[in-house]
Amino acid sequence: MRYFCLAVFLLLAAPLASRAQTALHGSVVIDSLYSKHLENDMGENPTRALSVYLPPGYEQGAQRYPVIYFLHGFLGDHTLWPSMVEVLDYAIETHRIRPFILVVSDQRTTYDGSFYSNSGLYGNWEDFTAYDLVDYMDTHYRTLPDVGSRGITGHSMGGYGALKLAMHHPDIFGSVYALSPGALTIVREYGPNSDTYSELAKIETVEALQKTYFPKVIVAFAKSWSPNPNNPPFYCDIPFERENDQWAARPEVLAKWYANMPLHMIDANLENLQKLRAIKMDWGRNAGERFTQQCEMFSQRLENAGITHFAEAYIGTHVSGIYTKDGRVPNAMLPFFDAYLDFDPR
């Protein structure tokens, strides 16, 4: 009897071991897309690279899948690192989410980030993302081409972009998850009481600007939200100027910035926010006061406006514990989309 039980155990264990050793993996397609919305006279390339994650079994079947649009952060691009692909596979394998497609478009510009905004002068990056990229995915891949099967997410600048695009296009993206979003309002290093604007005032060349961080971010904001072809060397307007040894606001420029910062976009987009199936944002509580303050302010403003949403401060920094197997992507963001995306064709 003992030998019989052992034989049965070995017979049962063999297929399990075989399945464990042959776990299915997704694939990544490197693609590109030319966009008329991105045509410009300022040297930005209107042909953008894409990385498309296709779930295990995509090549062998005819199934259609929901799409998660992932927006990268400042200084980032479309690259899907092997560790990120491993995390996506892991989330499917462990049933944190059903099989899905994920796409990342390259929106790194000559000023290091489009902020997913329509600048006109440097290209209309929001329109590229909401219209051109979505249409391309729906016509070139086996997607479920419906608002309920499209989610939008991203980290940092990408989290900002995800919120902004969801607020403007609830007829395209049904749900949004912002990972540690930035640029929600003017606080800390973004504001005139910091050293950022004094540092920027001393910079006269693009080469010198590239050696900084916060001044470069401010110029990227300005190129995205208040471009000016008649204002060299950076061809944009800054919302604060020096007067009588202190920084004073330029109301006409500041209004353009507020029109593009999600905290100040809520009132004008209340109906759109109410149309979204689900909204979630998170941030590392050790990310620094710039991120924690603006995220808390945005969540509180949503709450005051009666917008149902999820908001979570987790133990971590702005960059820790996100793209790992124990991080936010497989354990928070992807399960969120598993709950709120439609995975079956109507």
Identify the pLDDT of residue 22: 47
Identify the pLDDT of residue 193: 86
Identify the pLDDT of residue 210: 94
Say if residues 158 and 68 touch (Cβ distance below 8 Å): no
Identify the pLDDT of residue 7: 44
Determine if the pTM surpasses 0.85. yes
pLDDT tens digit string along 269-280?
999 999 999 999
With residue 218 as reference, give the H or E element that holds it.
helix 214-225
Identify the pLDDT of residue 19: 39
Measured CA distances, 137 to 32, 277, 319 (Å): 11, 21, 29
pLDDT tens digit string along 311-339?
999 999 999 999 999 999 999 999 999 99
List, by residue range, all CATH 3.40.50.1820 domains of the chain.
Answer: 24-185+265-340
**Per-residue b or e along 204-230, where b marks 16 or more CB atoms closer than 10 Å to that residue's CB:** eeeeebeeeebbbbbbbbbbbbbbeee
- Topology at the third CATH level for domain 24-185+265-340: Rossmann fold (3.40.50)
Identify the pLDDT of residue 1: 45
Weakly modelled stretches of the chain, pLDDT under 50: 1-22
Identify the pLDDT of residue 11: 44
The Cα–Cα gap between 224 and 124 comes to 9
Say if residues 143 and 168 touch (Cβ distance below 8 Å): no
Say if residues 170 and 275 touch (Cβ distance below 8 Å): yes
- Reduce the DSSP state of residue 1 to 3 states and report it: coil
